[in-house]
């Protein structure tokens, strides 16, 4: 039973790591600020959730797992609100004509 718990936990951690790598690639490759924020939000919500669930499964049921769960709940509530406020600021401060202009590299 211990081996099965470790395999499932490591599978969740690996899935979270893959999503974090996709998030990093999206943040650096996408040109428009809102697209980059969307890529970052995927990592903040889904990749972090998979990683924390994997750590909770590996750790078992104890006080540390409860603290990891609290971190996950806090991130689920705070990250979308912060991303929304940053996106709203980006939309309101960007000129209409420059909104879809390609960034010169």
Question: Model confidence over 83-104: pLDDT tens digits?
Answer: 778 778 877 877 665 555 555 5
Q: Nearest 5 degrees, angle CA 46-CA 21-CA 75?
A: 30
The domain ranges of the chain are 2-93
As a whole number, mean pLDDT of residues 30-54 equals 86
Q: Where does the chain have alpha helices with state H?
A: 2-29, 33-42, 48-59, 63-93
Rounded to whole angstroms, the Cα distance separating 12 from 14 reads 5
Tokens, residue 35: 């697209």
pTM summary value: 0.76
43 phi, psi to nearest 5 deg: -65, -40
Please say whether the beta carbons of 37 and 86 come within 8 A: yes
């Amino acid at each position: 039973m211990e081996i099965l718990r470790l395999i499932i936990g490591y599978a969740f951690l690996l899935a979270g790591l893959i999503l974090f790598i996709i998030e990093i690639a999206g943040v650096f490759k996408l040109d428009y600020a809102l697209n980059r924020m969307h890529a970052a939000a995927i990592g903040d919500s889904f990749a972090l959730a998979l990683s924390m669930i994997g750590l909770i499964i590996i750790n078992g049921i104890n006080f540390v797992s409860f603290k990891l769960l609290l971190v996950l709940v806090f991130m689920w509530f705070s990250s979308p609100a912060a991303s929304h406020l940053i996106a709203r600021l980006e939309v309101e401060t960007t000129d209409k004509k420059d909104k879809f202009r390609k960034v010169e590299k």
